[in-house]
Amino acid sequence: MDQNRYEEVPQKENKFLKGLKGLGRYFKFVFVDFFNSFKYNNMKLAAILFALPGLLLGFFMFAHVPTIRNVSVSYVRSIEGTDTTFAPTLGADGTYTYTLDKYLFDGTEYQNVALKLTAVDTTASSYNEDFQPVDGTAKGSKTTQLPTPVATLEGDGDSYTLTVTGMDEVATQVESYSVFLYRQVGQNYYHITYTDVNGVSLVNGEAKLTFNALSASSDYVYKVRVKAIPKASNQYYASKLSEINDASGYVTVSANGSNYSEADYNSTSIKFVQYAGTYEVANPADDNISKLRVKINDNGTVEYTGGNKAVEARLQLAGSNLRSSAQETVYIIPFDFSGMAIFFLTLLGFLNVFISLELSKKKNLGSVIKAALLTAAIVIIGGLYIYAIVATDNALKSGELKLSTATTMFDTNCIISISVVIAAAVFSLAGLVLAFINYDRTYEKVDR
């Protein structure tokens, strides 16, 4: 035997390289089979295109949500030709009288209409002195007035602590306290009617109060006046209002913007508190104009009423005068359907996925008709969604609509949202066209 001979052993292949080659062959067959499958299933591309909207619409929800929030239904604007200027005159009692430069009432224009503040009707059945910012007066057998309380107010934000002192000797005779809030305007304090707090009970001389009207104002000083209300079964009657002076408690909150800011016209602004009240014509020229009532609200709106006529207008400061303009609501869209549109688009997109499977499998006219119905719904609802966005943006561009969150609708999120909705409609249409061209016209349903 030849000892020099030896058997040749083949070199072993690297396991890692062998694995890579196997993976490569797998993907080769997958992709080759995938592309070859289009030759044998002419509805496959249509099915894929039709399934894409379901993936797109749901995946980009992060862009749809902030876009929906900025869509607006309507805005309020001044009606041209309805401007009325009236000059306030401050009386010695701290209230204002006015002279309207003109006013159109029941078809007749009146010039220089003098208005006077209407006094509170103390004879009305609804009038309750205990809940009015006036000193208490003796009633019937009640001959002793409760002492005047001393009130202090301290707090931060919307919650304030009211402390009442000076009532120790008669504390057991007091039923409750009526609290009236005042705002300082210039050197005077004006009563803010819509923030009264009636029937306050004190615990150890203190009570926690919440005044939402203080949440949006600046460098304005607010104080309270308190009136003690007696129990019904004793000889006492309501006290005088507590004094407003430097010794009483006060709170200062931050300001609400310029004279013409939208912030002047909401329930938390009290820029116009010094003008508030209901006015009637001081010297009516005829019975017609005598019906006119002018109510100036704390929130900067004014209501003109008389007979069957009622007009609400918005106030602006015009130097030392006030100017009002009648308002009208302009509807951008009938109602806010943008949220519902995205909901239904997403739902239809998921239905597209199921119909796409049916298109690929059955290839019949019935599945094409279903696809056509879904595509029509996606195109119509998507168009309405884009219409709502464009309409809101046009109102923003006109300057009549103002949003605190945006100056234009077409930010990054909006562009993404619209692009996705358009792409969903395009893919659905493309898939539908291919499905209609390639569906099996010889397909017959077999009963089994």
The residue among 219, 253, 287 that closes a domain is 253
Same structural domain for residues 297 and 383?
A: no
Domain membership flag for residue 3: no
Domain membership flag for residue 219: yes
Q: Which helix (H) or strand (E) holds 340?
A: helix 338-362
Same structural domain for residues 395 and 362?
A: yes
Quote the pLDDT of residue 255: 37
Same structural domain for residues 150 and 209?
A: yes
CATH number at residue 249: 2.60.40.10
Nearest to 225 by CA among 315, 156, 148: 148
The residue count of the chain comes to 448
Domain membership flag for residue 16: no
Q: How far is CA 318 from CA 258, 321, 322, in A?
A: 12, 5, 5
> How far is the C-alpha of 219 from the C-alpha of 250, rounded, in Å?
12
Domain membership flag for residue 202: yes
Q: Are 265 and 287 in contact (CB under 8 A)?
A: no
How many domains does one find in the chain? 3
Same structural domain for residues 248 and 133?
A: yes
Phi-psi sector, 112: left (phi>0), alpha (psi -120 to 50), beta: left
* Cα Rg, the chain, nearest whole Å: 38
Same structural domain for residues 378 and 322?
A: no
Domain membership flag for residue 378: yes
Domain membership flag for residue 392: yes
Domain membership flag for residue 20: no
Domain membership flag for residue 317: yes
- Do the bridges between strand 301-306 and strand 309-318 make them parallel or antiparallel, or are there none, so unpaired? antiparallel
Same structural domain for residues 113 and 133?
A: no
Same structural domain for residues 307 and 357?
A: no
Same structural domain for residues 135 and 236?
A: yes
Same structural domain for residues 133 and 239?
A: yes
Same structural domain for residues 221 and 290?
A: no
Nearest to 314 by CA among 400, 221, 191: 400
Q: What are phi and psi of 275, to 5 degrees?
A: -100, -5
Domain of residue 201 covers: 129-253
The residue among 253, 287, 321 that closes a domain is 253
Same structural domain for residues 290 and 309?
A: yes
- Tokens at 20, concatenated: 């890579």
The residue among 331, 346, 361 that closes a domain is 331
Same structural domain for residues 81 and 102?
A: yes
53, amino acid identity: P
The tens place of each residue's pLDDT in the chain, 448 residues long, gives 555 555 565 666 666 666 666 666 655 554 555 555 555 566 777 788 888 888 888 888 889 999 998 898 888 777 766 778 888 887 766 667 888 887 777 677 788 888 888 877 777 777 888 888 888 988 778 889 999 998 888 776 556 788 888 888 888 899 999 988 877 766 677 777 656 778 888 888 888 877 655 544 445 677 788 999 998 888 899 999 988 754 444 555 433 322 334 555 555 555 677 777 888 888 887 777 888 888 887 777 888 887 667 778 888 877 778 888 777 788 899 888 999 999 999 999 888 888 888 887 777 888 888 889 999 999 999 999 999 999 999 988 887 787 767 788 899 999 999 999 999 999 999 888 888 887 766 655 545 4
